[in-house]
Amino acid sequence: MPSFVITSFGSLGDLNPYIGLGRALTARGHDVVLAIPGQYVPYAEAAGLRASPVRPDIDPGQRDVVRKVIHPLRGAEYLIRELMMPNVEASYEDLDALVRDGDVLVSHPLTYAAPVLAERRSLLWASSVLAPLGFFSRADPPLMMVHPLVAALQRNLLAVYRQLIPLSRVVTRTWSPQVAALRKRLGLPPGADPVHGGQFSPYLNLAMFSPMLAALQDDWPPHTVVTGAVTYDAVHGGMPRLLEEFLDAGPAPIVFTLGSTAVASGHAPRFYQASVDAASDVGARAVLLVGQHDSHVPDTRGRSDVFVAEWAPHTALFERASVTVHSGGAGTLHTALASGKPMLIVPFAHDQGDNAVRTTGLGVARVLFPTQYSRNAAARQLGYLLSPEPRSRAAQVAETIRTQDGAARACEALETLAHRRGTSNAA
């Protein structure tokens, strides 16, 4: 059986799909190890997987760092130039010590050392993306900046907007000198821009999102397989008992969550206060998932119609919601789609805006950008989403999403890739 080394970096939304992939491969009899930041190793081990720490090991509890990462305009540059690239040599060293000859390597878009190592060691290698944004396609142009004006340009002047896609590749050319230096030290040719073409494998590219969000495009990298989402959300355990009791005690609530990163935003206090007020305005109960910090939590003392929790498993909770309100990260989004409930998306950064735009096109969601999110605006959108039309459409979409076994299809593609090694050795 082939062995797989799976890399990942980022938020829990980046970790969970790769835990799900690792579990699926393990269930099929494969040897799997996750190469992930040290603070996430216990999560992988709790899921029954082997894991090894790979730098950078950045604490997601550093709220000042997270706020820079989720800046709608400069977050990507800060993440790549200031956090990832200075650690490329360290990442390569950790990964090189972990990978054996004959392993199949699976890279995450931010693990820039992985493609270099695959080339240096002549490894079979599969790259992956979690959202359509990752391909920066001119044929199907994504929302590249999470801003209402950029969204309006994309929506109303698509032909003009499409011409901006090549500009994104020009902008990132100066972000990765450390990769160029590493390649030179290892005696490798310069290669493609690590942020764009250089992150994709010549063998297999896993598009780990639903084909309902984006179909295969001619300008995507060769050997791309749209697998469907690979999900896993039990890293913190099951449903809290008190939350279960709240759900049992009344009608389905609106669930409000900002995930594990947007919750650190300066917009978070206003988001949660407006959410409580908007839910009250539409006559709904509310569940607030607020994370580990409490500085942004509104005063809900004496409110029997509001439940505040640090965390809850999204799959189990969303199925019992009337509407979900979230920031649109790929993992949360696919869980919300599978729940069969309409959603209000409040995107902050990275792929969230593009995910939001694509989901509204399915007829199951509305979008408010953080600067637009207020009590009145949220109440208007929630009032619509509680109506029969979006509820019916969300149920229809969920029927399709639930048939898409992303983990199985990703495993099949990886097994086909791994078979190439065995065929080559036999020859």
Q: Are residues 412 and 377 in the same domain?
A: no
In the chain, pLDDT over 90 holds for what percent of residues? Answer: 81
Distance CA 304, CA 280 (A): 12
Q: Are residues 389 and 284 in the same domain?
A: yes
Q: Are residues 192 and 310 in the same domain?
A: no
Per-residue pLDDT, 23: 97
Residue 335 token pair: 């869980």
Q: Are residues 86 and 63 in the same domain?
A: yes
| Residue 253 belongs to some domain of the structure | yes
Higher pLDDT: 72 or 376? It is 376
Q: Are residues 129 and 206 in the same domain?
A: yes
Q: Let me know how long the chain is.
A: 427
Confidence band of 424 (pLDDT split at 50, 70, 90): very low
Q: Are residues 422 and 316 in the same domain?
A: no
Q: Give residue-wise pLDDT tens across range 286-334.
A: 999 998 777 788 888 888 999 999 889 999 999 999 999 999 999 999 9
Q: How much is the average pLDDT of 182-195?
A: 95
The domain in which residue 255 lies consists of 241-401
Residue spans of alpha helices (H) in 223-313: 241-248, 268-281
Q: Are residues 210 and 278 in the same domain?
A: no
- Which CATH number fits the domain that encloses residue 309? 3.40.50.2000
What residues pair up with 35 in beta bridges, in sequence order?
7, 52
Whether residue 427 is predicted with pLDDT greater than 70 in this model: the reply is no
Q: Give residue-wise pLDDT tens across range 354-373.
A: 999 999 999 999 999 999 99
Whether residue 59 is predicted with pLDDT greater than 80 in this model: the reply is no
Q: How much is the average pLDDT of 44-51?
A: 95
Per-residue pLDDT, 111: 97
| Residue 352 belongs to some domain of the structure | yes
Residue 131 token pair: 């959202």
Higher pLDDT: 59 or 299? It is 299
Per-residue pLDDT, 265: 84
Find the largest Cα–Cα distance for the chain: 73
Q: Give residue-wise pLDDT tens across range 324-350.
A: 999 999 999 999 999 999 999 999 999
Residue 348 token pair: 């902050």
Residue 261 token pair: 């990163």
Q: How much is the average pLDDT of 398-404?
A: 96
Least confident of 9-13, 36-40, 244-248: 9-13
Q: Are residues 329 and 217 in the same domain?
A: no
Q: Which amino acid is at 358?
A: R
| Residue 332 belongs to some domain of the structure | yes
Confidence band of 2 (pLDDT split at 50, 70, 90): low
Q: How much is the average pLDDT of 206-224?
A: 97
Q: Give residue-wise pLDDT tens across range 226-242.
A: 999 999 986 667 889 99
In the chain, pLDDT over 70 holds for what percent of residues? Answer: 96
Cis peptide before 211 (omega within 30 of 0): no
| Residue 39 belongs to some domain of the structure | yes
Q: Are residues 40 and 15 in the same domain?
A: yes
Per-residue pLDDT, 153: 93
Per-residue pLDDT, 235: 64
pLDDT, the chain, mean: 93
Q: Which amino acid is at 29?
A: G
Per-residue pLDDT, 238: 83
| Residue 74 belongs to some domain of the structure | yes
Q: How much is the average pLDDT of 371-389?
A: 97
**CA angle, residues 261, 262, 265, in degrees to nearest 5:** 115
Q: Are residues 329 and 200 in the same domain?
A: no
| Residue 41 belongs to some domain of the structure | yes
Q: What is the DSSP string of 143-175?
A: --S--HHHHHHHHH-HHHHHTTHHHHHHHGGGS
Q: Are residues 183 and 276 in the same domain?
A: no
Q: Give residue-wise pLDDT tens across range 101-139.
A: 889 999 999 999 999 999 999 999 999 999 999 999 999
Q: What is the DSSP string of 44-76?
A: HHHTT-EEEE-S----TT-HHHHHHHT-TTTHH
Q: How many domains does the chain have?
A: 2
| Residue 234 belongs to some domain of the structure | no
Q: Are residues 411 and 386 in the same domain?
A: no
Comparing C-alpha atoms, which of 390, 384, 379, 385 is closest to residue 282? 379
| Residue 147 belongs to some domain of the structure | no
